[in-house]
Each structure stands twice: as C-alpha cells, then as structure tokens.
C-alpha cells in the first residue's frame, strides 16, 4: 500500500490510512452489490433500521481492519463492544452503513465510514459513498481529499442565502428567538456525508440538533478540519472522542467564517 498524498513512508498514519481506504472500498463494493435488492430489515428501537447488509459490511470491516491491526481498539454501530477500546492508544471507529434508511429506501445518500482515533483524537478518516463514487479522506496535518483531489470548505461569511444541510422544518420552528434568513436547505441521510459535502465546499454548513454517536462523526470530523472547516457541537465545543459513552450532543459543521454566526444563533439552546 502506498502512502497517501502529503505523507512520507515513515509517517505512522500513512499505512493506517492506506489500509482504511483499501478496506472501505471493498466494503462499499459489497454494499453496492446488494443495493436495491432484497434485504432482511429489522428495527433497533429508536435507533432505526438495521439490515443484513449493515452486518455483513461490519464483519468485513472488522475482519480486515482488526486482522491487520489486532492491537487497535474497535467501536462500531453494529458490534457489541467490550470496552477494551478505552485502554488502547489507537482505535478504529466504524459505521458500516451511515444512512441505513436511505439504503433501505433506495436513495444514494449513504456511506461507509472508518475513522481512526489516536489517544482520543480523530487522526484519520475515510468516508465513501459507493453510489456517487465519492471517496473522502484526510489525516491530521496532511489535508483533505475527494477522490484524490484536495478539497476546501466554503469561505462564505453570511447565513442568508447559504447552502445548508439540515431539517428545513427545524429552521422554520417558531421557537427561534430570531428567524433564520432564507437559505438553500437540503438534507442527506448520512451525517458523515453531510459533513464531507461541507468539507468539499458543496454546501456551506450542516446542522443537526440531536445526539450523534461517535461513529457518525469521527471519520468526517478530521476531513472537515483538514479542509479548513470547523466541526463540533452546537455549543462551539469540539467533539470529544474516546469516552465511555460514545455520544455527541449535536453536530454543526461549516466553513470557518460562517461558524461564529451559526454559534450566535444557537447559543441559547440546551440539549440533553
């Protein structure tokens, strides 16, 4: 496996990132082959649906990543964890299919996500949409890329007219102290995909005011940061990874110029 753009052969992240890229591509091919076909679907309570494809992709990721790096910790939406990740310096954080609802409904807005934590910091990430053939990746200090081409978050500094990923009804809710100005609001089921589209400058921001799991955001967080954007919670705090409860209160991602304007609109919000 060759070092990724910006890496030297001696860079310890280079081999991990190359491995993640290779394995995510294989996992995406597996999922894409089943897309639109018969599925075994069940509900995980309030967490939504899970399919036999989610589980098959999870097994592939764990076999390949865990087999190659047996001393790394493991956190996945579809794997029962034993807590050993909390004692490991390096851990994979995986969402086999982020956007399962889209996968089940036959919409192309789902991704396979692999992030790498080093001492609790999101150090590398790969987010792959097999249906659009967009593969995003980044590692700390080496930039962010889509299909090998460098990407950069938007420099927009005005909320009005911005390209926003989120729930249009949320922005229209009468409880906001100041109404949101007119924006171009769209949505994508995959949280990681939303964040990567912000990193690429396709959208100016993404906002989700509900709890997100580490596997939803870990891979994309480093991609946004390396693209010059900002990703964290609605309070302005960065995501905190490597904790016993792998949950973030919310997700906000944007270009750096727009971020303080979004924070000013949300500073009154208190979430569980």
pLDDT digits (tens, 9 = 90+) for 24-38: 999 999 999 999 999
Query: What is the pLDDT at residue 193?
Result: 98
How far CA 221 is from CA of 103, 121, 191, 239, 253, in Å, comes to 23, 10, 11, 8, 9
Top-level class of domain 12-150: alpha beta
Average pLDDT, the chain: 94
Which numeric CATH code is attached to 163-266? 3.40.190.80
Residue ranges of domains in the chain: 12-150, 163-266
Q: Is the separation of the CB atoms in 240 and 198 below 8 Å?
A: no
Distance CA 166, CA 135 (A): 22
Query: What is the pLDDT at residue 1?
Result: 47
Total Cβ atoms within 10 A of residue 47: 10
pLDDT band at residue 133 using 50, 70 and 90 as cut-offs: very high
Percent of the chain with pLDDT over 90: 89
Q: pTM of the entire structure? A: 0.94
Q: Is the separation of the CB atoms in 89 and 82 below 8 Å?
A: no
Distance CA 220, CA 226 (A): 10
- What is the per-residue pLDDT across 182-241, written as a single tens digit (0 to 9) for each? 999 999 999 999 999 999 999 999 999 999 999 999 999 999 999 999 999 999 999 999
Phi, psi angles (nearest 5°) of residue 228? 85, 10
Query: What is the pLDDT at residue 44?
Result: 83
- 48: its two tokens: 């939504």
Distance CA 13, CA 22 (A): 14
């Amino acid at each position: 496996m060759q070092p990724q753009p910006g890496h030297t052969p001696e860079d310890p992240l280079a081999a991990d990132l190359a491995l993640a890229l290779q394995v995510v591509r294989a996992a995406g091919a597996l999922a894409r082959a089943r897309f639109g076909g018969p599925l075994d679907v069940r509900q995980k309570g309030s967490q939504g649906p899970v399919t036999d494809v989610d589980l098959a992709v999870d097994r592939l990721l764990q076999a390949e990543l865990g087999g190659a790096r047996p001393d790394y910790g493991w956190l996945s939406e579809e794997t029962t964890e034993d807590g050993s990740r909390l004692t490991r310096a390096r851990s994979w954080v995986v969402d086999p299919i982020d956007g399962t609802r889209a996968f089940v409904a036959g919409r192309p807005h789902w991704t396979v996500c692999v992030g790498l934590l080093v001492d609790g910091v999101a150090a590398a990430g790969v987010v792959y949409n097999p249906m659009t053939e967009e593969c995003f990746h980044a590692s700390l200090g080496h930039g962010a890329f889509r299909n090998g081409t460098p990407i950069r978050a938007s420099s927009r500094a005005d909320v009005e007219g911005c390209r926003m990923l989120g729930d249009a009804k949320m922005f229209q809710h009468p409880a906001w102290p100041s109404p949101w100005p007119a924006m171009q609001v769209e949505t994508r089921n995959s949280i990681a995909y939303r964040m990567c589209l912000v990193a690429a400058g396709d959208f100016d921001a993404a906002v989700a005011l509900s709890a997100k799991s580490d596997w939803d955001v870990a891979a994309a967080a480093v991609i946004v940061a390396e693209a010059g954007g900002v990703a964290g919670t609605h309070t302005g705090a960065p995501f905190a990874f490597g904790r016993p409860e792998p949950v973030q209160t919310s997700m906000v991602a944007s270009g750096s110029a727009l971020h303080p304007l979004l924070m000013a609109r949300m500073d009154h919000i208190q979430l569980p």
